[in-house]
Structure 1
Amino acid sequence: MADVPALLVYTRTTDYRHDSIPAGVAALRTLGGFGVDATEDPAAFEEPLDRYAAVVFLSTSGEVLTPPGRERLAAYVEAGGGFVGVHAAACTEDDWPYYGDLLGARFDRHPALQPGRAVIEDPGHPATRHLPPVWHFTDEWYDFRTNPRGRVRVLVRADESSYDGGGMGDDHPLAWCRDQGEGRVFYTALGHAAEAYADADFRAHLLGGITWAAR
C-alpha cells in the first residue's frame, strides 16, 4: 500500500452534522486508486500533510481547524496539494477569509431535499465527462452567498426551473474547480443524502474531481 496515494478525509462538524458522513467515508474508501485516512481530529492538520495526494473536507461544518491547522492547510495547497470540498464543506470555517477564497463560494441557504436537474457545463472534466448533458439528481440544491463564476471553472450548474425554492436564478453554479497557488481545488455542492454515495454517477463525479485535484 506504500505506493498508493492517500487522501486525508476530514469530517469534523461543530455545526449541523450530516447523517450521510459515514456513507461518504465508506464510498471514498471503495472508489479505488486512493488510500483513505479519515479523521475528525484537528490535530491531524498540525502534522505534515505532504504525504497526502489531496485533503477532502466531507460535509464538515462550523469552525473545524486550529490556527496552526489553518496555516498548515494553506501552505499545503499553495505548495501544490489538492483540496476537495463536498457538500457542507461550503458551511465551514466562516471565520477564516482564506478558506472562502480557497473554496470559491460560501453556502447561503437551501430549499427542501428534492429531485431536480443539473446541467453539465464542462463535459471535458474528469468529474463530468461520464455524465449526460442533463443529470437528474436529488439533493438540497445549495444557494451560495456570491456567484463564483469568473473566479472558478464551472463544471455543473443547477436548473432552478426543475425544482422549488432556488434563489440564484439562471446562473447557479453547483460544482466547480480552480487553481490556488500551485494547488488544485474541486468542490461539489451535491452529496447531502447517504443514497448519493451509492449512486454510480455521483461516485464517478467524486472520483473524477478528486483525481483532478490530487497531485
Structure 2
Amino acid sequence: MVQEPRARETPTTGDWTMRRRDVLAAGSAALLGLATFPCGWVAAASKRRQRVLYFTRSVEYEHSVVRPGEDGLSHSGRILTQLGRRAGFDVECTKDGSVFDGDLQRWDVFVFYSCGDMFQTSVRKRPPMSPAGRDRLVAAVAAGKPFVALHSACYWGRQAPADDPYLAMIGARFVAHGAQQEATMRVASPGFPGTEGLPKSFRLTDEWYALRDFADNLHVILVQETAGMEGDMYQRPPFPATWARMHGQGRVFFCSMGHREDVWTNRIFQQILLGGIAWALGNAQANTTPNIHQVTPRANQLHP
C-alpha cells in the first residue's frame, strides 16, 4: 500500500528568498561541524560564483527542515547557503512554482526538496508550477542544466502517471516510508565525490524512503541495506538510495536522506550533498557508468 506524506496546513505566508547576507546576519550556530571538501570541488576563483535555486514547495506535507522560521529562513536552506558560501555558490530559496515559467538560465543548478504534485495548491498557497513550467524544467535538464533532488523530491503525488517526465528525470519514484529508525547505507561507489574517507558502510537515523521503478542507467552511490529494518515496505532486497545519472545532457543527482534536522547537520550527509552538487555542476568528475544491476540486482523487487 502506498503511503504518502500527510497534509499539514499552515498559515499562509509570503515567499522568501535567502542569500549569503541573510545567513551571515542570522548567525551560524546551527551550522557547527560543517563538512570539509576537496578544493577541486570549489568553483574556480576566476569564474563568477555559481547560482543555486533551492526549490522547497510543499503540497501535501511540509517537512520541518524546509519550514520557514520566524525569521523566514528554513533549517536546510540556512545550512545549504552556508555550505555554498564556502564552496563557491550562492543559494536562492523559493517556494514559488511560477519561477519555472521565467528565465531558467539565471541559475546554474536546481536543487529540489519539493513534496507532492507541484501543479496543485501548496501548503503555503504559493503559486503552482504550470505544466509548461514542468516541461521547461525537464527540457532544460535534458539540454544540460544540472539537477539535484533530495528526499521527498521523488514524490509527485500518488496520482502521478507511470510515464511522468519529472519522475523519469529523477530515475525512480516514492513508494512509502516507515517509522524513523537507524539503518545502514552501503557505499557502492567509493570514488564518487562526497564519499572520500567514508567507511564501506555507515549507520544513520532518518526517515527512509522505499523507492521503485528505477531507471536502468543509475550509477548507484549509496545502497539502502534493508536487513533488520522495521516496516513491511523494507522487507525486500537492498535498493538504491543515492545515485547519479544522465538525463539527456544533464547531470542528475538524487539522495533520499534529509528528513531530520540532525541529518542536515551531519558531516557525512553534508559531504555527500556537496559532492553531488559539485558533480552536477561539473566542478568534480566521476565515473558514472551505470551499475544498478551489479550492486542492487533485485532493486525493483517489492514487498508482496
Whether the 8 Å CA contact 2:190–2:196 is kept in 1: the answer is yes
Q: Which runs of 5+ in 1 are unaligned?
A: none
In 2, Cα distance between equivalents of 1:182 and 1:50: 15
Q: Deviations over 1:171-204 (max 9, x none)?
A: 3111011001110100000001011111111111
1:25 alignment partner AA? G
Which residue of structure 1 aligns with residue 296 of structure 2? none
Task: Select 2:99's aligned residue among 44, 51, 59.
Answer: 44
Which residue of structure 2 aligns with residue 85 of structure 1? 149
Task: Select 1:17's aligned residue among 62, 86, 89.
Answer: 62
Q: Deviations over 1:46-81 (max 9, x none)?
A: 1111232210111x1112221221122022101110
In 2, Cα distance between equivalents of 1:38 and 1:168: 37
Matching of residues 63-212 of structure 1 within 5 Å: 63-64=117-118, 65-92=129-156, 94=160, 97-146=164-213, 148=214, 150-165=216-231, 166-167=233-234, 169-212=236-279
Percent identity of paired positions between Structure 1 and Structure 2: 33
Whether the 8 Å CA contact 1:117–1:162 is kept in 2: the answer is no
- Bigger strand fraction: 1
* Deviation of 1:129 (Å): 2.7
Matched, 1:62 2:116: yes
Whether the 8 Å CA contact 1:13–1:62 is kept in 2: the answer is yes
Whether the 8 Å CA contact 2:172–2:215 is kept in 1: the answer is no
Which residue of structure 2 aligns with residue 26 of structure 1? 78
1:62 alignment partner AA? G
Whether the 8 Å CA contact 2:168–2:215 is kept in 1: the answer is no
Distance 1:162 1:119, change over 3 A: farther
Number of paired residues? 213
* Deviation of 1:116 (Å): 1.1
Matched, 1:7 2:58: no
* Deviation of 1:168 (Å): 5.7
* Deviation of 1:162 (Å): 4.1
**Over the residues paired in the alignment, what is the CA RMSD in angstroms?**
1.8
2:79 alignment partner AA? A
Whether the 8 Å CA contact 2:50–2:108 is kept in 1: the answer is yes
In 2, Cα distance between equivalents of 1:117 and 1:51: 38
Whether the 8 Å CA contact 1:157–1:175 is kept in 2: the answer is yes
In 2, Cα distance between equivalents of 1:167 and 1:160: 6
**121-130 or 34-43, larger mean C-alpha shift:** 121-130
SS of the residue corresponding to residue 205 of structure 1 reads helix
2:115 alignment partner AA? S
Distance 1:134 1:187, change over 3 A: same
* Deviation of 1:40 (Å): 0.5
TM-score normalised by length of structure 1: 0.92
SS of the residue corresponding to residue 161 of structure 1 reads coil
In 2, Cα distance between equivalents of 1:69 and 1:130: 40
In 2, Cα distance between equivalents of 1:48 and 1:131: 39
Whether the 8 Å CA contact 2:149–2:170 is kept in 1: the answer is yes
Q: Deviations over 1:88-108 (max 9, x none)?
A: 001126357111110111100
Q: Which runs of 5+ in 2 are unaligned?
A: 1-19, 21-46, 67-73, 119-128, 283-304
SS of the residue corresponding to residue 206 of structure 1 reads helix
